[in-house]
């Protein structure tokens, strides 16, 4: 009886040791395998995934802060996830398939699951950005085309002002009417920037004030014709950005100008 009792006590102690050791060993194995899966994915340029471990089962989910990396890959969310799953399945942890404690504790990653919700969410974000990009490109092209039409409508004519002032003269009203009629054919999600310039004769401050006043005069004239005030802005740049040689009379005359540029409504205006 004494020997039986001793054997029973021994088995009890061993069972208690195993009971306490196995959870610790399982937790350590989870941590190790998670680290190895993360390293594997990072080495393959797949650092935009979160790795969750449940024993030896792995669940991959897209990280919210990994969107830029996912978008830059050019892959669909599902194709990229499938590639990540394949690499995660290749992690063995350097451990045998079966040992004294069984494959449940000592083996490699046994199963890899996809978080389907994160795949759907990531694809929705990718689709939204792609749609916005197409729309933005279309609006930019429309702005460029409309600016070209306005330039063609003005042709080689220039707004005329009383020397040294912002008072419009000559056939300026006819030019502005042609500009207005052309802008009326443009998409409504565009805004007009009226930009005034001078030659390099005189003081910089005086040139800046004069170019600003002339741009404002042209902008107000277009508003009077019917353009919405919220869709028109004006700004003077003085002698900046010359388009001709300021050392000649003809060049200086060409630099004294008012430009009409169409922009998408949310795009910053001016150089």
> Total domain count for the chain?
2
Q: Does 107 score more than 80 pLDDT?
A: no
**Are residues 145 and 29 part of one domain?**
no
pLDDT digits (tens, 9 = 90+) for 20-69: 444 444 567 778 888 888 999 999 999 999 999 887 788 999 998 989 99
Residue 194 inside a domain? The answer is: yes
Residue 121 inside a domain? The answer is: no
**Are residues 139 and 109 part of one domain?**
no
Q: Answer left, alpha or beta for residue 270, where phi above 0 means left and psi between -120 and 50 means alpha.
A: left
The helix/strand/coil state of 76 is coil
pLDDT digits (tens, 9 = 90+) for 178-211: 999 999 999 888 999 999 999 999 999 999 999 9
CATH number at residue 152: 3.30.1330.60
- By the 8 A CB rule, do 167 and 161 touch? yes
Residue 124 inside a domain? The answer is: no
Tokens of 50: 């979160």
Domain of residue 198: give its range.
135-264
**Are residues 153 and 36 part of one domain?**
no
The helix/strand/coil state of 36 is helix
Of 28, 60, 30, 33, nearest to 47 by C-alpha is 60
Residue 269 inside a domain? The answer is: no
Q: Where are the alpha helices (DSSP H) in the chain?
A: 2-43, 67-73, 77-89, 103-106, 116-154, 172-183, 204-225, 249-255
What does the DSSP 8-state code read for residue 65?
G
- By the 8 A CB rule, do 113 and 58 touch? yes
């Amino acid at each position: 009886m004494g020997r039986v009792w001793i054997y029973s006590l021994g088995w009890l102690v061993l069972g208690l040791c195993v009971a306490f050791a196995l959870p610790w060993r399982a937790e350590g194995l989870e941590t190790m395998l998670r680290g190895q899966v993360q390293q594997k994915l990072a080495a393959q340029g797949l650092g935009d995934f979160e790795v969750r471990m449940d024993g030896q089962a792995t669940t991959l989910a897209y990280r919210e802060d990994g969107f830029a990396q996912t978008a830059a890959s050019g892959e669909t969310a599902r194709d990229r996830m499938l590639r990540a799953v394949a690499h995660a399945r290749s992690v063995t942890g350097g451990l045998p398939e079966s040992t004294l404690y069984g494959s449940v504790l000592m083996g490699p990653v046994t199963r890899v699951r996809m978080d389907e919700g994160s795949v759907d969410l990531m694809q929705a974000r990718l689709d939204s950005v792609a749609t916005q990009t197409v729309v933005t490109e279309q609006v930019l092209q429309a702005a460029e085309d409309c600016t070209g039409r306005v330039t063609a409508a003005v042709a080689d004519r220039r707004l005329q002002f009383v020397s040294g002032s912002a008072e419009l003269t000559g056939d300026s009203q006819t030019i502005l009417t042609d500009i207005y009629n052309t802008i009326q054919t443009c998409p409504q999600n565009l805004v007009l920037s009226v930009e005034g310039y001078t030659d390099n004769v005189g003081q910089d401050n005086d040139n800046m004030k004069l170019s600003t006043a002339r741009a404002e005069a042209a902008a107000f004239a277009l508003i009077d014709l019917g353009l919405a005030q919220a869709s028109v802005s004006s700004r003077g740049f003085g002698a900046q950005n010359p388009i001709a040689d300021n050392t000649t009379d003809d060049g200086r005359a060409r630099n004294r100008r008012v430009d009409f540029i169409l922009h998408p409504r949310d795009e910053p205006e001016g150089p």
